[in-house]
Amino acid sequence: MAGCLTWIHFGDLHVDDADGYEGLTRFRALVALARAQLGGMVDFAVLPGDNANHGTGEQYAGIADAMTGLELPWHVLAGDHDFEPGDLTAMRAITTRMAPYAETIAGYRCLFLDIVSAGKGGPDFRIAPDQRTWIERELSTAAVAGEPVAVFMHAYPGDLRDDPDGIAGLFAAHRVAFVDTGHTHYNELLNDGRVVYGATRSIGQIEEGTAGTAHGFSIVTLDHGVPSWRFQAIDDPWPLVQITSPVDRRLITDPVRPDNVPGAAFDVRAKIFGTAPCARLQIDDFADIAMTRVAGVPGMWTATVHGIADGLHRLTVRSGAGEDGIDVLVRDAGPRPKRNPPVALGRDVNAVGAWSERGIDGAQRGPNKNGLDW
């Protein structure tokens, strides 16, 4: 049975000499920060595409050099900017594995997709028929093996030119645990009622936050299939605290599961990145509870709570200067929430909106929505 899977996501780099390689400078600083704070607590790192702004060898050479600063497995996707030369030959400087491919990591089946090379360049995102068949086969194989699935692709299914509803429908039918994307340039979480999607702010082309402090990375954890996502900016305090179970009410996809909608007694789990001598849990305004370390899961802490009344409750975990909070819906005596029919699967109309604790301002400022003409 799958346990805990954690990865670090570095948003679209857009490395380019036109801005004095500012995106590369930021990337190097974030790699150094991740190396100092996340050692042993992360399974791999992701570059979601639009790595080299014009897909040139010089741009990739700088990225490849910066990547050596983080001693983790890397998974690299292609974006429309990587495909600007008309092929992905130059991108091989930063990866030996070209999508699509699948790998089982910590009990999760991870699918890495190619949505650019079947198109005609630019944001002409498509999935070739043979890859569509491969995705269906991989999802079915994972279901038989009992492996939860995480999907990695450059953009949301809703951005595909061909059959976006079909691809998102596949993810929903197979209960994919999380879909991780780039492309938007802004932080965002979607919940279409079946699948949670996350997009991370661009490193090279930033339109959110305060100049000089807005670049960062996201940390994504799947804890027995429960997704948690948060953004850590370069100047945010450490340790980084991430409540991994139960799930926040905004990310409920299956109200029957006790880690989505718990009863009166349940376990709270939190992963703490950085130095954490202790961790404490607070429920609403009551006195806090000491948490204990979970053996065999680096950085994971837990506490069991009892006698929680039905309704919405605030859970907060603190460790040093770090803090995380979620809103949890409890149903013990009362009926479970109804699960409505899905609408617009894999599309950003299902965005959860502003969530400041997660680094999401909800403004959708980016060149693909309401941002600058990069």
- Chain segment 300-325, per-residue pLDDT in tens: 999 999 999 999 999 999 999 999 99
Q: How confident is the model at residue 213 (pLDDT cuts 50, 70, 90)?
A: confident
User: What integer pLDDT is reported at residue 344 of this predicted model?
Assistant: 96
User: What integer pLDDT is reported at residue 209 of this predicted model?
Assistant: 84
Shared domain for 203 and 260, answered yes or no, is no
Shared domain for 211 and 258, answered yes or no, is no
* Tokens of residue 135, six digits: 């995705």
Shared domain for 147 and 126, answered yes or no, is yes
The CATH number of residue 103's host domain is 3.60.21.10
Q: Which helix (H) or strand (E) holds 25?
A: helix 22-37
Q: For residues 266 and 271, give the distance between their C-alpha atoms in angstroms, rounded to a whole number.
A: 17
Mean pLDDT of the chain: 96
Question: What would the pLDDT profile of 354-372 be if each residue is shown by its tens digit?
Answer: 999 999 999 999 998 889 8
| Mean pLDDT along residues 61-67 | 98
352 C-beta neighbours (distance < 10 Å), count: 17
Tally the domains of the chain.
2
The CATH number of residue 266's host domain is 2.60.40.10
- Torsion sign across C-alpha atoms 244, 245, 249, 255: positive
State yes or no: pLDDT of 1 exceeds 70. no
User: What integer pLDDT is reported at residue 211 of this predicted model?
Assistant: 73
Q: How confident is the model at residue 276 (pLDDT cuts 50, 70, 90)?
A: confident
220, part of any domain:
yes
Q: How confident is the model at residue 147 (pLDDT cuts 50, 70, 90)?
A: very high
Shared domain for 204 and 109, answered yes or no, is yes
* Tokens of residue 226, six digits: 């429960």
Q: For residues 350 and 192, give the distance between their C-alpha atoms in angstroms, rounded to a whole number.
A: 5
Q: Give the rounded percent of residues in the chain with a pLDDT score beyond 70.
A: 100
**b or e along 277-294 (b: 16 or more beta carbons within 10 Å of the residue's beta carbon)?**
eebebbbeeeeeeebeeb
340, part of any domain:
no
Shared domain for 198 and 296, answered yes or no, is no
210, part of any domain:
yes
State yes or no: pLDDT of 6 exceeds 70. yes
User: What integer pLDDT is reported at residue 212 of this predicted model?
Assistant: 79
Boundaries of domain holding 176: 4-236
303 C-beta neighbours (distance < 10 Å), count: 19
Q: Which helix (H) or strand (E) holds 179?
A: strand 178-181
